[in-house]
Amino acid sequence: MISTSLLTRRGFLGAAAGSVALAGCANGVNSNGAARIDSRVDATRTYLFNSYTGTSELEQKAAGVLWMPLITKAGLGVGGSYGTGALRIDNATVDYYEAVQANFGFQAGAQQYAHALFFMTPEALRSFRTSAGWSAGADAEYAWVDQGGNLSAETLTALDPVIAMVFGQAGLIAGATVEGTKYRRIIP
C-alpha cells in the first residue's frame, strides 16, 4: 500500500513541474512572437515610407521609433483597443511593447489602424524606456498628412519630444488617436 504522504508529495512535485513548464510558455520562450512582430513592423514601416514622403526623414531625426503595426479598436458604449509592436533604435529592435486603451462614451463599431511614435529627443526616449507603464497623452504632437499625402513642414521641424502618426485606418470608428494609450514592455 502506498502512503498518502508520498502521493501528496508526488502530486505537489508534478504540479510544481507543470507550473514551471507553463510559465516558460507564458513568457515567450520558444515562440515565434518576436519574429511575427518584427515582420509586421517591417511591412508597416515600408508602407509608411512609400505612402507618405517625409516620414523616412522624420525617422532619421528621431532617437527611436515605436512601431505599432496593428491596433484593433472596438466598442459599443464601452470600448478598448489592443496591439503589439516594437521599439527600434537605428532600425534595430531593442524591445517589444503592447498598447492598451480603454474608453467610454458614444461609440459603436470596430477599427484597425497602425501608429508610430517618433521620439525626437534622447530624453523622451529614455523616459519611455524607463517607465513602468508609459501613457501617451496631450504631450504627443500629432502628425497630419495633407491631401497630397505629404507631411507638413511644421511636422518635420517640430520641437515636440514625441510625434505620433496614426495611419492605415480601416473600419467604422472615426478619429483614431493614441491619447490615453498605455504602453508596457513585453516578451513576445
* pLDDT, tens digit (0-9, with 9 covering 90-100), for 29-80: 567 999 999 999 999 999 999 988 888 999 999 999 999 999 998 888 788 8
Contact call for residues 103 and 75 (beta carbons, < 8 A): yes
Per cent of the chain over pLDDT 90 is 43
Q: How many CA atoms lie within 13 A of 183 on its CB side?
A: 26
Q: Residue 13: what pLDDT?
A: 37
pTM: 0.74
35: left (phi over 0), alpha (psi -120 to 50) or beta: alpha
Give the pLDDT band of residue 27 (cuts 50, 70, 90).
very low
